[in-house]
Amino acid sequence: MKKELKNFIIESDFPHTYFNDIIDYIISNEKRILNFFNLEKLPNKVRIILLSYEPFKNFIISKYGEILNYISADSDSPTNTIRILNVEDQIKHTTHKDANVDKIKKTVLHEIVHQCHHTYHMDYNQITWFAEGLATNLSNQDYTLQNLDKCDFDKLKKDFRHYKGGYKFSYTIINYILSNYSDEEIYKLYSNPNYLREKADFIFEEAKKWTKEKH
C-alpha cells in the first residue's frame, strides 16, 4: 500500500484497513505542526512506513544495538524516514497492549513532529527529553501532568531511553513551557540546542513549582 502527499510518502508492508485513516489524520494535522515550527513545507519528503514486527525489530537493533519493549516507532533523520510498528504487532510484541488505531495515528504525528524538529538541528545530547516532550504534546498523546518531585532530571537528561517514566515527565515539563513561554522563547529552545542546555535546569525547577500549584 502506498500514498504520496506533498510532504509525505506513506507506505505499508501489509494491507491494513486503517491505512487511509492514518493518511486522513496526517492531512488534517500537518499544517498545524508545520506552522508551529515556522515551516511552509519540509525540505525533503518524509517516508512513513507501517511495518510488521520482524523488519521493524531488525532496523531498530541495527540502529541502537537493542530493541526495548516499549519501542513502537522511530524517526530516522538522516534518511527522512519514519517507521511505525503496526497495531497488531504492537499488541503482540510490545508493552502497548492497548494499542489501537487512534493511538497509532497519534504516534505517526509524534514522529512527524520529530522530523520537523530535525530541520533545525540533530544535536540531542542531554536534550532528548525536550524533543520527546514536544512530540507528545503536539501530537495530543494521552499523557497527564506528573509530580516532578519524583523526577531525577539528571538521569532524564543523560539516559532518556532507559529512564522509566521519561515520556511522562518530559510531557509535563514541555506542557509547562507551552503554557507559559512566548512563541519567541519556544522558538529559541527548539532551534538552538546550546541555548536549551543552558536553560534546562532552570526550566525544570520552574516546571516543578508549576506542577505543584496544579496538583
The distance between the two most distant Cα atoms of the chain, rounded to a whole number of Å, is 49
Comparing CA positions, the residue from 167, 72, 80 lying closest to residue 115 is 80
Domain residue limits at 151: 123-215
Kindly state whether residues 142 and 205 are assigned to the same domain: yes
Give the HSE-up count for residue 170: Cα atoms under 13 Å, Cβ half-sphere: 26
pLDDT, residue 113, reads 97
Total domains, the chain: 2
Residues 134 and 180 grouped into a single domain: yes
Q: Which residue has the cell 488534517?
A: 28
Query: So what's the pLDDT on residue 169?
Result: 97
Same domain? For 107 and 11 the reply is: yes
* pLDDT in the model for residue 106: 95
Q: What is the DSSP annotation of 36-55?
A: HTT-SS-SSPEEEEEE-HHH
Residue 68 clears pLDDT 80, i.e. is over it = yes
Assess whether 13 and 46 both reside in one domain: yes
Helix (H, G, I), strand (E, B) or coil at 80: coil
- Percent of the chain past pLDDT 70, that is, above it, reads 100
- CATH number of the domain at 17, please: 3.40.30.160
- The pLDDT of residue 215: 64
Beta-sheet strand order (sheet of 2-4): 2-4, 8-12, 46-51, 81-85, 73-76
Q: Which amino acid is at 129?
A: W
**Same domain membership, residue 164 and residue 206:** yes
The whole-number pLDDT of residue 1 equals: 84
Give dist(CA 33, CA 80) in Å, integer.
16
Task: Give me the mean pLDDT over the 48-55 stretch.
Answer: 95
Q: What integer is the mean pLDDT of 128-148?
A: 95
